[in-house]
Amino acid sequence: MSSPLISRFTALAAVLALLPQTGHAQSLAYGDVSGESADASGDASAPGGNTRTPRVKLTPYIEAQQVVFAELQPGNEVVTYSIIAAGVDAAIRGRNNEGSVSVRYERRFGWGNNAQDSDAISGLARFSSAVIPNTLSIEAGALAARNTIENNGAALNNGLNFGDSVTQIYSVYAGPSLRTTVDDVQVSGSYRLGYSRVDSPDAIPVAAGQPAIDLFDESVVHSAAIRAGTRPGDYLPVGVGVGAGYNREDISNLDQRVEDLHVRGDVTLPIGNDLSLVGGVGWEKVEVSSRDAVRDPITGDPVVGSDGRFVTDSSAPRVLAYQTEGLTWDAGVMWRPSRRTALEAHVGRRYGSTTYYGSFAYAPSARTSLNISVYDTVAGFGGQLNNALANLPTQFETVRNPFSGNIGGCVQAEEAVSAGQGTCLNGALGGVRSAVFRSRGVSGSLAINAGRLSYGIGAGYDQRKFIAAPGTALAAANGVIDENIWLAAFLSGQIDRNSSFTTNAYANWYQAGDPLAGDTRGLGATAAYYRSITTKLTATAAVGVDGVARDNLVDIWSAQALVGVRYSF
């Protein structure tokens, strides 16, 4: 293993170690086929956050697999791989602490001249700890994912994610959250520090005449907000509030910067027991700026470094790419007929144009959860990924690809999540271009636990309109619109006391605004069977198929099969 990879694995492990070992994670039902529980203590029926004694699950494991990979198109080569993996799935739910984590490292050994050795790290974690119960808490999260990068900047989460055109994505955030009451005034505030990084692949095939894709490198995000408000009937017949916020993202590619400063006043007018009209007026200033790349003294072309990215000219002046300042407003409705149903829908003006956003959460029972979110934001890749990570629930199960070991784009929430939260990362992970963008889209998921069966589906649409400064190396990206439609589904269940199965399917339609890059369509499905040999040893057999159809490059289709064993401690 290379020293940079060791360093990043160590850093990720250190971050995850700070999150008390958390997550009943992963729909690959390795630890559960025996019917035994790893709960240390506590009442399993008690709701999260109200247990007197915390429930803790901790399942470290090691795993060995043998994989056969058959290329179906454009060639017919067959190669085999041996995989050694280690990981941990854990969860905690208590009065003051709750969270989930699933992290895995694997080493792949190729057999034959064309089978490459490789390493892979994947993981997902969310944690919340109450420093002062019901007042001050610390929120944190981390992600490590491995995706295939296409010539148009699309990032596909499939079974092909090893080899030259693969990138490793990391994201982490942490910060305090405050919620208290002064007399009848509710005061809330938060701060979040985030970091994201994309380790670029060795090579990305591009069409003839198409320039190399400028991939995102890394960014640091600061996000702070504060609000004070009253409920209807406390002082006035209507609820009133005032708040302010500041967001900043610094992107290493050409020293891009996004700054957003805003203040806002809002009013809530009840028109029934469960329905309210809401509206707000405020002021906002948003700026996007960057520097240019170092230029070749002879040709004037921007210089590209050994990592395939433009070399930033730190002595060049900062150039403004986008600026809007002035009045913002929105109006909408809030409908909350019960604790299991919540709807918010808003329309207004922001970023110099009309904006729409909102959310819907519906949980008719503890076994069913439907969540839909509509969003509109200006950010870089790292900022949007950090936001999506922060919106995940703290209690979840991850869905993993049995061949790559990578986490899926959606998680299974263990309980209904609140309006405004989400359970999928697919939209944020859809593309890895470095330029800042305005992102508008919708994401939804439905998950059902029907006793011996669990199944669900996630789908979404994400549009990115890129923003770049004129006269810089990224100028050609300004105004380009990329669109991504994605779909993910799973079905898992218990066959008998000692065996279980999982099936997963995904589809992506990525339409690039660059005609030279063309569109990409990804499609795949896997099915796995698990058999408990002893209470700690589980055997696995799986099959899968993956395909990528591209406008300007050859299509790729492959089939895979594996057998393996896992020992859970």
3-state secondary structure 13-48: HHHHHCCCCCCCCCCCCHHHCCCCCCCCCCCCCCCC
DSSP strand E in 401-435: where? 407-413
Q: What is the pLDDT of residue 208?
A: 63
CA dist 166 and 164 (Å) reads 6
- Share of the chain residues as helix, strand and coil, in percent rounded to the nearest 5: 5, 60, 35
Contact call for residues 214 and 435 (beta carbons, < 8 A): yes
Contact call for residues 211 and 152 (beta carbons, < 8 A): no
- Which among 334, 390, 342, 388 has a CA at the least distance from the CA of 363? 342
How many Cβ atoms are within 10 Å of 271's Cβ, its own excluded? Answer: 9
Q: What is the pLDDT of residue 419?
A: 61
- Which among 442, 200, 431, 414 has a CA at the least distance from the CA of 305? 200
CA dist 270 and 274 (Å) reads 8
> Could you give the maximum distance between any two Cα atoms of the chain, in Å?
76
Amino acid identity of residue 58, one-letter, is L
Domain 3-568 has CATH 2.60.200: no
CA dist 111 and 132 (Å) reads 55
CA dist 293 and 273 (Å) reads 58
Contact call for residues 230 and 238 (beta carbons, < 8 A): no
CA dist 375 and 359 (Å) reads 9
- Which among 405, 401, 534 has a CA at the least distance from the CA of 84? 405
Structure tokens at 196: 């994201």
CA dist 513 and 228 (Å) reads 42
CA dist 554 and 71 (Å) reads 13
Radius of gyration of the chain measured on its C-alpha atoms: 24
Number of C-alpha atoms within 13 angstroms, CB side, residue 58? 9
Cα angle at 397 between 43 and 498, to 5 degrees?
Answer: 75
Structure tokens at 344: 């918010």
Place of tokens 């029926």: 45
DSSP strand E in 94-234: where? 97-111, 118-132, 136-149, 155-156, 166-182, 185-199, 218-229
CA dist 326 and 314 (Å) reads 31
DSSP code of residue 477: G
Number of C-alpha atoms within 13 angstroms, CB side, residue 38? 23
Q: Is 429 helix (H, G, I), strand (E, B) or coil?
A: helix
Contact call for residues 123 and 106 (beta carbons, < 8 A): no
Structure tokens at 426: 């697919």
Q: What is the pLDDT of residue 200?
A: 76
Per-residue pLDDT tens, the chain, 569 aa: give them. Answer: 444 433 443 444 443 333 333 333 333 333 333 333 333 333 333 333 444 456 889 999 999 999 999 989 888 889 999 999 999 999 999 889 999 999 999 998 988 777 778 888 899 999 999 999 989 999 999 999 988 888 788 888 776 655 555 788 999 999 999 999 999 999 999 999 999 999 876 556 666 666 677 889 999 999 999 999 999 999 999 999 999 999 999 999 999 999 999 999 999 999 988 999 999 999 999 999 999 999 999 999 999 888 888 999 999 999 999 999 999 999 999 999 998 899 999 999 999 899 999 999 998 888 888 999 999 999 999 999 999 999 998 988 888 888 878 887 788 777 656 666 778 888 899 899 999 999 999 999 998 988 889 999 999 999 999 999 999 999 999 999 999 999 999 999 999 999 999 999 999 999 988 877 788 999 999 999 999 999 999 999 999 999 999 887 888 899 999 999 999 99
DSSP strand E in 414-555: where? 436-450, 453-467, 481-496, 499-511, 520-532, 537-550
- Which among 427, 388, 437, 386 has a CA at the least distance from the CA of 194? 386
For residue 51, what are the contacts with CB-CB under 8 A and spacing of at least 6? 42, 43, 93, 94, 95
CA dist 557 and 137 (Å) reads 47
Element of type H or E holding 260: strand 256-270
Q: What is the pLDDT of residue 366?
A: 80
Contact call for residues 461 and 441 (beta carbons, < 8 A): yes
CA dist 132 and 263 (Å) reads 28
Q: What is the pLDDT of residue 213?
A: 77
Q: What is the pLDDT of residue 251?
A: 97
